[in-house]
Amino acid sequence: MKRSLTLFFISFCFLARLFAQKETPAQHDSRMQWWRDARFGMFIHWGLYSVPAGTWNGKNEYGEWIRTSAEIPLETYDKFQGQFNPVNFNADDWVKAAKDAGMKYIVITSKHHDGFCMFDTKQTGFNIMRSPFLRDPMTELAAACKKYGLKFCFYYSIMDWHHPDYLPRREWETNRPAGDADYDRYVSYMKAELKELLTQYGDIGVLWFDGEWESTWNQARGLDLYNYVRSLQPNIIINNRVGAGRLDMEGLTKQGMFGGDFGTPEQQIPPTGLPGTDWETCMTMNDHWGYNSHDKNFKSLKEIIRMLTDIASKGGNYLLNVGPTSLGTLPQESIDRLKGLGRWMDLNSEAIYGTQASPFTSTPWGRCTMKNLKNGFRLYLHVFDWPANGHLVVKGCMNKLNKAYILSDSKHPTLTFSRSNEAITLTLPKNPPDTINSVIVLDFKGPRDFNNPPAIICDFSGLVDSVNVQLSSDRPNVEIRFKVSDTIRDVDTSGILYKGQFSLYRPAYVNARCFRNGKPVSGTSSRQFKYYIPNAARSVSELKPGLAYRYFEGEWDKMPNFKPLLQWYFGVVDTLTLAPKKRNENFAMYFFGFIKVPKRALYKFTLVSDDGSKMIIDDRVMINNDGLHSMEAKSVELGLNAGYHAIRVEYLQRTGSAGLELYLESPGMPKTLVKKEMLFHE
């Protein structure tokens, strides 16, 4: 029977993949359009964790993770259900507060990691209808969103600390044996709840998954769940946490893995956005997602408005969180900031909604968003630093400027401006209309023509023998000229005309510039390529396949000194893996042996870990990502001669999820997990 079910699951996943591929790019864009235009949404973390309000056993540092962070037994945590009675909850008040703040959609926790369902479900008694409240807030919020014109969306946790079939158990839960647990049965339970969410509350804009990082979840299950959800509501949008391919808190999806419809940077804004990818930064107003009565470290209105602007200028969405109390009210600090956001958005929302990322590589005065017009385009200059001399210089656009005005001035009087080559100088009033962010509108004619310098494209920062380099510009009617030299300098008309990829055989600077009709029409881009002296290969003999490892247990915040520690056991693994671990938390391991590289070349190693890790090559620490953190990736380049090189990887795990991966790439060899054929030990 189990074999038949396994074959059915594999067949279904294959069919599901084919189903997912039926959507054309145009259909995908159409499905995503409202979300791309919205740019701004409200995240709501609300559940049983609001009852203790962040405090347990004299400590007040907790939030929505309090059940596992404070190690509260299940039978104790369940008692919060009888205390949860949000008598002050008013769906209209919440949704209107979001609308007045300029938000276009709401994402609320239907079920967080603690497993408590904030909706009327027939799948478990651990839900709000079995609390003293006896109302379904999701029904009321769905109606309020429809009334005020916001998209209603659900957060749903794949991880569930309450359900008897969810695996793995929390390590400290020694009184909850997992012998009878059936993870496939849990997935069926989860799908039944998702069917309720997607059939009882009308059209749902987004299904925002989370808690996908534990080893029991995988790519096949993620793709299957994605297609199951879209079979219930074909137009719904689903984040990349439905799969098992999220790399880290930067929100990217691992290369070659399924990534849903958009990436999910958490508590951070990607420095240059995620070009070519839909993405949404989720962020707290203070230091916690769920309500913590002691947390008063709220971001200022200035920070929030500028974060919203920064995200929009990079082509992303902003999902800003509020954590309601157990009585169903929003913290006053959140209300105050939402009202301040509303005042700014009332005058400037045009510069946020439906905009594209900035076309400029540099905006020293603030940020920029953009929209297409019928016969041209519009730039919104978000001026953070109002010029004291009344003159704002905007460099980089070669198009004819048709009109300039301040967005918040309803009469839109034209600003005076002048041009000198590619620089436009605007004459502004003495005082800014807004001290946080004043928006100036520039309307241009014709197709976009920005004088950004050409991109110098190469996956590596240097070479051992040679490296290939490409140059690129998306500007019309330009040619790229470049020089290879020992210093950074401008490129004049004597530079080499770029006709395609070229190779470097020595360390040098590559300088490149765009020309039109023999005249420079951009600044110069420069990039240095260094020479890496390759490490000599080791002389070894009689090696065995795989890496040796040592396993230790204990509680550490930093990588321990392994020498005096008592090892619990040791062994050999084919690849770098945490599979031999005995515990999910509070352990450390190190792996040692040799890695064999096929040729003399520059190699890039990328070590991904949660928590701390180190990589030592040929007795030198090359990557140090020590300490407690979520999934993070760090890379290093080094030259290696063909043959064997000593390698040691150290790993530390305290609490939460565990993960360790090592990737390798070189010129001519794409990035891939280190293969078992490359690893050996004595």
Distance CA 563, CA 639 (A): 30
Distance CA 284, CA 306 (A): 15
- The predicted-structure confidence for 51-92, as pLDDT tens digits, reads as follows 999 999 999 999 999 999 999 999 999 999 999 999 999 999
Structure tokens at 14: 């294959």
CATH class of the region 544-681? mainly beta
CB 576 within 8 A of CB 591: yes
Model pTM above 0.75: yes
Residue owning tokens 């509303």: 342
Domain boundaries, the chain: 31-351, 366-445, 455-531, 544-681
Which residues have C-beta within 8 Å of that of residue 420, sequence separation ≥ 6? Answer: none
Distance CA 573, CA 94 (A): 53
Task: Please say if the pLDDT value at position 5 is more than 80.
Answer: no
* pLDDT given at position 504: 95
Task: Please say if the pLDDT value at position 438 is more than 50.
Answer: yes
- The predicted-structure confidence for 90-145, as pLDDT tens digits, reads as follows 999 999 999 999 999 999 999 999 999 999 999 999 999 999 999 999 999 999 99
- Residue 628: C-alpha distances to residues 550, 611, 657 (Å): 20, 5, 11
CB 427 within 8 A of CB 390: yes
CB 397 within 8 A of CB 419: no
Give the CA angle between residues 188, 193, 199 to the nearest 5°: 125
* Cis amide leading into 611 (omega within 30): yes
Task: Please say if the pLDDT value at position 308 is more than 90.
Answer: yes
**CATH (residue range 366-445):** 2.60.40.1180
- The predicted-structure confidence for 221-260, as pLDDT tens digits, reads as follows 999 999 999 999 999 999 999 998 887 677 778 777 788 9
Same fold, 366-445 and 544-681: no
Nearest Cα to Cα of residue 326 among 43, 59, 49, 119: 49
CATH topology of domain 31-351: TIM Barrel (3.20.20)
In the chain the first and final C-alpha atoms are separated, in Å, by 44
* pLDDT given at position 12: 38
pLDDT (average), residues 175-179: 91
pLDDT (average), residues 183-194: 98
What is the H or E stretch that residue 91 is in?
Answer: helix 91-100
User: CATH number for the 455-531 domain, one of 3.40.50, 2.20.180, 2.60.40, 1.10.155?
Assistant: 2.60.40
